[in-house]
A and B are shown apart, each in its own frame.
Chain A
Amino acid sequence: DTGVSQNPRHKITKRGQNVTFRCDPISEHNRLYWYRQTLGQGPEFLTYFQNEAQLEKSRLLSDRFSAERPKGSFSTLEIQRTEQGDSAMYLCASSLGSKGVAKNIQYFGAGTRLSVL
């Protein structure tokens, strides 16, 4: 399977703990995105990488959130000192990043569902 892979699929944690999620994009895609989705809403943009460079961050990404993409391959999203409001589905997507229509199509993973107790 060459789709976007996210791990873990589910994470339950206690308030105040740190959590880390991993995303493996489609292998030839050089752009990687993180989104957050809460119940009844569409995905909301958090941040995106072009290769290893983090080029844009949303205001939703507070100081407790950090994302990395070492070597331009997989990416991690860490949340420090989790709060109940962080409970959501965290989605990763990747895109080709070349010129033309195809660059705009983002392909999503199945997500990591975070529950903060």
Chain B
Amino acid sequence: DQQVKQNSPSLSVQEGRISILNCDYTNSMFDYFLWYKKYPAEGPTFLISISSIKDKNEDGRFTVFLNKSAKHLSLHIVPSQPGDSAVYFCAANWGGAQKLVFGQGTRLTINP
């Protein structure tokens, strides 16, 4: 079963606009969520994270929002830049476990 889902395989956004990437989860035990960015031929790179005790975390152009009641999180990138073009993975884990459970990824393309 897919416990973490990214339902949009791809997203195209104009440079300078806001990019919003979405992620849904089914396991209510998850208490920590992370976003990773992956360029071709590289491993995933950690971007930003959020604990379940918060509903927002911001780091520069990147903000992650968590809606626990809806089991939904989103990553906002403002303003979007060409270097943001990559595959973005949402991941989750819970206190007693070490493994990360990943979504399928969303390919973000920023158009000039």
Contacts and interface: CB of A to CB of B under 8 A. Distances in A.
Interface residues of B, number: 26
A41 interface: yes
A48 B46 CA distance: 18
A117 interface: no
Contact of A105 (B42, B46, B103, B105): B46
A42 interface: yes
B43 A111 contact: yes
Given A33-B99, A42-B102, A42-B105, A104 B43 contact: no
Interface residues of A, number: 27
Interface in A88-109: 91, 93, 95, 101, 104-109
A33 B102 contact: no
A43 B42 contact: no
B44 interface: yes
Contacts, number: 61
A65 interface: no
B44 A33 contact: no
A23 B51 CA distance: 29
Contact of B104 (A41, A56, A95): A41
A58 interface: yes
Interface of A: 4, 6, 31, 33, 35, 40-45, 48, 55-56, 58, 91, 93, 95, 101, 104-111
A45 B100 contact: yes
A105 B49 contact: yes
> Nearest 5 pairs between A and B by C-beta?
A42-B102, A108-B43, A45-B99, A110-B43, A108-B44
